[in-house]
A and B are shown apart, each in its own frame.
Chain A
Amino acid sequence: MKRNRQIVALIVLNLVLYAVINEANFYLTPLGIALHLDVLLVFFAAIRLRIVHGMIIVLVLGMTAGAFRPEVPGGTLLTLLTVWFVCLLLRPVIRRENPIVITSMAILLQFFVLAGRTAIYTGHLLDVSAVWQRLLLDTGISLLILAMVTTTWCEFQRRVLLMMGWDLNAESQRV
């Protein structure tokens, strides 16, 4: 069944979230803090939607988020694709209805994304204590916020889809 309207709605919702995170970072920069919530952009698509639908959302958001970053072209896209792929692999073995499982999974994935970026981009500076302080603070705050909002954000997206006539719970029960 075609779900074009619903997929576009999810893309728009996550683009708004991306804009809100950017705006928050604009004001947090003078305080020496940066929020890293990339996983949140694709998490719902990865754990609840079909493979093709999820892939479309990951492609659009990965290319949007990566357009400004000084990584190799597609660096952010590949990171988000990997997150999406890991979620797909874990989907059959996790209980998606359990908020603790979902939140823990998002936190772990975000942690691995941050650890990977640190190894690639700041490997030569890791002997400086100020770098560690900054990394730990950014990671701590980002993961704390992720712990607070992941379930709510996923539930919000599910309800938006429900309002648009797509009941994901009923669909997963049928499967």
Chain B
Amino acid sequence: MFRRLTFTGRAVVFFFAILAVWWLLPFVVKSFVKTSFFEFQAPSWTSASYLRDIGSYWGARTHSKEELIEAGMEQARLNAAYELRNQNVEFQSRQIERLEALLSLPSLPTFRYEVARVIHRDINTWWNRLIIRKGRIHGIRPGQAVVFSGGVVGRVDEVYAYTSTVVLISDPSFRVAAHVEDDERPIQFQGGVNPPGLRAPLAQISNVPADIRVSRDRPRRVVSSRLGGSFPDGLTLGYIQSLEPGSDGLFQSGYARLDERLLSVREVTVLVPIEAEMGETTP
């Protein structure tokens, strides 16, 4: 009977047969197939990233000795400045521990820093994601915070054996509690808009108290809040440049400009909570 069908008839039968099979498959099987295909192609992305690293290495080798000496001197100056800052941080950490003990306060969450290379970017109008070269065996788990020198990059979404996917803060589905610098009241931060060209991505800001004032000349920094659970307090999310009053008159909303480097970031750091790791290893 199937042989008697026309070409179009056979196409219709095949198409709806595949749809029916896919629809009837349990969700577990679909997820397993998705994960299998991800793991199957992950080595190719990792290899491509190693090739890029080799390309950068050979590119760097073309620099002259004078340039390298100059870069070395600049690096030495930076190291000296960071050494001083480290001493200051150590002193402040001891101060915090002493105050916590004195006031019987619960200690702040502490993190281990897992540095990872970005091996793949999928950034468009619909979703903004990265794949990084560290995964489950490095202690990375879904929901952990990902940061870089410009502030927050995003949150770990899916974790595989040697790779993980990260949702950027510019992704329309990314939502987190935040607050304006020097103001503890929470506001809502949601990713959203990636303009074309070399312009910085934007995020939507809402529930901003009516008394907060910003202007293009004096933008206010939006920082992460501990309320969300995964991010430590005070990491840069973006800068609010304009706000508009909401219909209720109590809150304002607007857009925050994110760091331009977010779209070209090559190396990120995953904040792995030490308490959670110790909990996993303790029987």
Sample of 17 more A-B contacts, CB < 8 Å, known A29-B123, A64-B40, A125-B193? A19-B48, A22-B45, A25-B122, A25-B123, A30-B198, A51-B11, A64-B41, A70-B127, A73-B33, A81-B18, A88-B11, A88-B15, A92-B8, A118-B126, A121-B127, A122-B125, A125-B172
User: Among the listed A30, A67, A92, A131, which residue makes an inter-chain contact with B34, where contact means beta carbons less than 8 Å apart?
Assistant: A67
A128 at the B interface (CB under 8 A): yes
On whether the beta carbons of B8 and A134 are closer than 8 Å, the reply is: no
Q: Kindly list chain A residues whose C-beta atoms are within 8 Å of the C-beta of B14.
A: 51-52, 55
B157 to chain A, nearest CB (A): 7
8 Å CB contact of B196 from A19, A85, A88, A134: A134
Q: Does A166 contact B (CB under 8 A)?
A: no
Give how many B residues have a beta carbon under 8 Å from the other chain's beta carbons.
49
- Does B264 interact with chain A (Cβ within 8 Å)? yes
Collect the chain B residues with CB atoms within 8 Å of residue A117's CB: 126
Chain A interface: which size bin?
Answer: 35 or more
Interface residues in B18-51 (C-beta closer than 8 Å to A): 18-19, 22, 27, 30-31, 33-35, 37-38, 40-41, 44-45, 48
Query: A32-40, A103-111, A156-164: which one contacts chain B?
Result: A32-40
A67, chain B: closest CB distance, angstroms: 4
In the complex, are the beta carbons of A32 and B199 less than 8 A apart? yes
CA distance A89 to B13 in the complex (A): 12
- A1, CB-defined interface residue at 8 Å: no
0 or 1 for each of B86-112: is its CB under 8 Å from A? (1 = yes):
000000000000000000000000000
B253 within 8 A of partner (CB): no
A-B residue pairs in contact (CB < 8 Å), sample of 8: A22-B120, A32-B199, A59-B18, A69-B122, A81-B19, A91-B7, A133-B195, A137-B196
Least CB distance from B211 to A in Å reads 26
**CB–CB A88/B126 < 8 A:** no
